[in-house]
Amino acid sequence: MNPSASTAPRSSERGHASDVPAVVDTDHAEGTALLKLENISKLFGGVKALQAVKFDVMPGEVLCLAGENGCGKSTLIKVISGVYQPEPDAAMLMDGQSIEGLDPAKARDLGIQVIWQDLALFPEMTVAENIAFEQNLGPRPRLVNYSLMKIAAHRILERLGVDIALNRSVRSLSIAQRQVVAIARALVADARLVFMDEPTASLSHAETEALLKIVRRLSADGIAVVFVSHRLAEVLDVCTRVTVLRDGRYVGTFPTAGMTQTRLTELMTGRTFDYAVRTTDLSAAPVVLRIDNLSRRGEYDSVSLDVKRGEIVGVTGRLGAGRTELALSLFGMTRPDAGTIALDGKPLALRSNRDAIRAGIAYVSEDRLQLGLVQQQSIGDNTVAAVLDGLLDATHLIAPRKRDDLIRGWIERLAIKIGKPDDAVSTLSGGNQQRVVLAKWLATNPKLLILDSPTVGVDVGARAGIFAIIHKLAEQGMAILLISDEIPEVYFNADRVLHMRNGQIVAHYAPGATTIDQIERDVHA
């Protein structure tokens, strides 16, 4: 197995920033850049979010802007889109002409559009209304011409090669369809440069391929796309160059031809990582979870598997394979129609998630923002949300000292980087938010931990930290079921890998005894 092909570094890491050789630009684009920036700096209260950054993108180019969370990517995009003003001495040129006094309106007039991760769509409005929204903006109120709106929306969707009913509400669309609507809205506004912030974070493999096809179509039409993604395989597949930022500084711009995910990870983090499959001897370990012929009509059928003490079992497969549906039944959220579940040899009849928690099962959902955390509540409140009963004193009120000790203990154990426990959890990076989710469930002292896509929206450096925690939990004897559609994640972090398709387990793999390429061929066949 060639480690350079991997997208999921093992959590053990060696080296420091100083171990990675100094880097310089290795690729210079030919011709006049569509957008060129020099000496871009941005300070917030004396903190340097950006320091002497340079950036350029060519007409029709698909460029990746890469770096860990907090490296300055979003700040740079906000400078380019006119939300932030750079420090003096910055130079910004569009088509070789200097840009002065850039604000959001002027950026839109220049053809600069940003599609943020939250998409900023209106869920109750129709597809056509969302796509043609900006056409109805102006200094004076005016009547909306719905016929022209639908014509414009239809023309753009046809240009993208996509068929979505114009009268459907955006709320009824899948995430992938909403991405298309956001792209179409940018094109209606005559976009020449489109920034896409984590466009595939919540998409399946098939949906991602469809989106990348649209990105290539935009490029062929001469529209430049700047792609921001933590999924490095996509970056190297769709982009021609990658610009790397680290700690607010410019690291370099490199051609993706010949670039490996390992090397790109090193450039982004300033660290090197070890890539190796797990080699844990679990032959004598007792079985913690055993399910036999578990079925739920329309979701999964005759699923049998076991997870031993200290074992990480990976489950992968394409969208609709039934992985999340199986996890929900194991957590008591849905009831199977047939089959049995046993924990530590004792049969379980789970009527709710409370039954599962009492039995010793914890579940980290794939949707951290909606199901894993209450974004408006504090870090502390989220951490103790699943164990409030255990914090009550003799008066049946929460004991403040017991609560604070528990919060402090998990923040320290999982090395969660926070300001104060009373800060809203929404103030944290994706990686630290995911650690809070883990803390919440680990506080229940589970025997079985189910992790459903635990690194969605988490950068590569933070992923390594999360998997280091997962490995440590397994070493301490916890049984772990790891669900992910990113095959390298299960390949390098699981003791065994199960392939699920159409609701059934169709193959078993032992990492090391098979190649990652073979698993990927089987899954995507």
Identify whether 279 is part of a domain: no
Residue 13 lies in a domain: no
Residue 448 is predicted with a pLDDT of 97
Model pTM above 0.85: no
Distance CA 310, CA 202 (A): 29
Is there a domain that residue 318 lies in? Answer: yes
HEC secondary structure over 129-144: HHHCHHHHCCCCCCCC
C-alpha–C-alpha distance, residues 325 and 517, integer Å: 26
| CATH code at position 378 | 3.40.50.300
Domain coverage including residue 377 = 287-524
Q: Check residue 369 and give its pLDDT.
A: 66
Is the same domain home to 355 and 500? Answer: yes
Q: What is the largest CA-CA distance in the chain?
A: 76
- Residue 197 inside a domain? The answer is no
Please name the residues in contact with 296: beta carbons below 8 A apart, sequence gap of 6 or more.
325, 329, 334, 335, 336, 337
Residue 461: inside a domain: yes
Q: Check residue 511 and report its DSSP letter.
A: B
Indicate the residue among 169, 189, 209 that finishes a domain: 189
Looking at the structure, tell me whether residues 305 and 176 fall in a common domain.
no
Last residue of one domain, picked from the residues 159, 189, 219: 189
- Residue 263's pLDDT is what? 86
Q: Are residues 153 and 291 in the same domain?
A: no
Residue type, 292: D
Same domain, residue pair 170 and 304: no
In a domain, residue 220? The reply is no
Contact between 327 and 483 under an 8 Å Cβ cutoff? The reply is yes
Same domain, 291 and 185: no
Q: Is residue 99 part of a domain?
A: no
Both 180 and 302 in one domain: the answer is no
Q: Please tell me whether residue 452 adopts helix, strand or coil conformation.
A: strand
Contact criterion met (CB below 8 Å) for 391 and 428: no
pLDDT tens, N- to C-terminus, the chain (525 residues): 344 333 444 434 433 333 444 444 544 556 789 999 999 999 988 788 999 999 999 999 999 999 887 789 999 999 999 999 999 999 999 999 999 889 999 999 999 999 988 888 999 999 999 998 776 665 666 677 888 889 989 999 999 989 999 999 999 998 889 999 999 999 888 899 999 988 887 776 678 888 999 999 999 999 999 999 878 888 888 999 999 999 899 999 999 998 887 788 889 888 776 678 888 899 999 999 999 999 999 999 999 999 999 999 999 988 778 999 999 999 999 999 999 999 999 999 999 999 999 999 999 987 766 777 888 899 999 999 888 888 888 888 888 889 999 999 999 888 888 889 999 998 887 778 888 999 999 999 999 999 998 887 677 777 888 898 999 999 999 999 999 988 888 999 999 999 999 999 999 999 989 988 889 888 877
Answer whether residue 104 is part of any domain.
no
Among the candidates 142, 174, 189, a domain finishes at 189
Backbone angles phi, psi at 303, to 5 degrees: -85, 125
Identify the pLDDT of residue 238.
93
Domain count, the chain: 2
Say if residues 270 and 16 touch (Cβ distance below 8 Å): yes
pLDDT score at 30: 65
Residues 336 and 476 in one domain: yes
Cα distance between residue 103 and residue 96, in whole Å: 19
Q: Parallel, antiparallel, or unpaired: how do β-strands 272-273 and 13-14 relate?
A: antiparallel
Whole-number pLDDT of residue 6: 38
* 166 and 295 housed in the same domain: no
